[in-house]
A = this chain, B = another copy of it.
Amino acid sequence: MLIPSGVDGLFGRSAVYESIVDGVGKMVHRLGEDQGATLLSFPPLLAKQVFERTGYLESFPNLVGAVRSFSGSDDDHASLLRTVFAGEDWSEHLGPTDLVLRPAACHPVYPTCAGRLPPGGRHFEVSGYCFRHEPSRDPTRMQAFRMHEYVYVGEPARALEHRDRWLELAREALSTLDLEVTAEAANDPFFGRAGELLAGLQVKEARKIEIVSLLPGYPAPTALASGNSHQDHFGNDFGIQSANGDVAHSSCIGFGLDRIAIALLATHGLDPETWPETVRSMLWS
């Protein structure tokens, strides 16, 4: 199912595993089909100038992936290769690029909304590989994983309503996959001393609600989907206004496609041919 790469949290995937992720992705897409979301697709990289405006470096510096490349001469190249062959850190021979790895599927959406939104705001659907630098042998905590999101940008009340409606849709859909799920307030892993305060505030204000499942063999529940109220965070970062001129609010629901695939395997067994017919028809009908 998962093919070790030599790096914790980085895996290849078998065809069977991919068919599960594909089935989950299509199910999530069908859930939103009647909601008029604009489907966009972005590569796994994000412009550094966009990334710097999201506040991610303030909150999660330890999860960041910044991209370096080489722009030297033949002599610099020889020096780079000597460092490689000596088994030392050769990233010192590289310089910065304009790129970082995308930490969440929705981040590239917000700059496309800069300016005044139409009445009612805008809905987006976006999916793809994301990166968080948290090497772990636990397959539910990959460094490179796929997230499928529905995003709303617009008015405050609608942003909350979007998040809560999608949490209910997510809970129902995951239940139909015969996963035992509950919703609970959660916090992001904010960095450092100040981070503890931010995490506490996030829970207290219920800004992040996760749909979690206690998987066989795990001591604590695993989040399979996450509904986030950003309030005016991205609206401020990217100069987005609602139709009435106020700073736009936003919210998103993210489905962890690899997490859900692993939850299905852990719950229903390693052979999808033997999974309950109701589950199979949700994924592959």
Closest chain-B Cβ to A270's Cβ sits at a distance in Å of 17
22 contacts between A and B (CB under 8 A): A5-B42, A5-B108, A6-B47, A6-B98, A7-B49, A13-B42, A14-B41, A15-B41, A18-B39, A18-B41, A43-B142, A44-B44, A57-B80, A61-B70, A61-B72, A65-B68, A65-B99, A66-B68, A66-B90, A66-B91, A67-B67, A68-B91
- Please report the total number of A residues contacting B with Cβ < 8 Å: 70
User: Which A residues from 226 to 250 make CB contacts under 8 A with B?
Assistant: none
Cβ proximity bits A26-45 to B, threshold 8 Å, 1 near / 0 not = 00000000000011111111
Listed in ascending order, the chain A residues whose CB lies under 8 Å from chain B are 3, 5-7, 10-15, 17-18, 38-50, 52, 57-58, 61-72, 74, 77, 80-81, 84, 89-91, 94-99, 101, 108, 111-112, 129, 131, 133, 135, 142-145, 191-194
Closest chain-B Cβ to A200's Cβ sits at a distance in Å of 17
- Which residue of B45, B49, B70 is within 8 Å of A144 (Cβ)? B45
Q: Are the C-beta atoms of B67 and A66 separated by less than 8 Å?
A: yes
Alpha-carbon gap, A49 to B90, bound state (A)? 12
Alpha-carbon gap, A64 to B84, bound state (A)? 13
Contact status of A3 and B43, CB under 8 A, knowing A84-B52, A97-B65: no
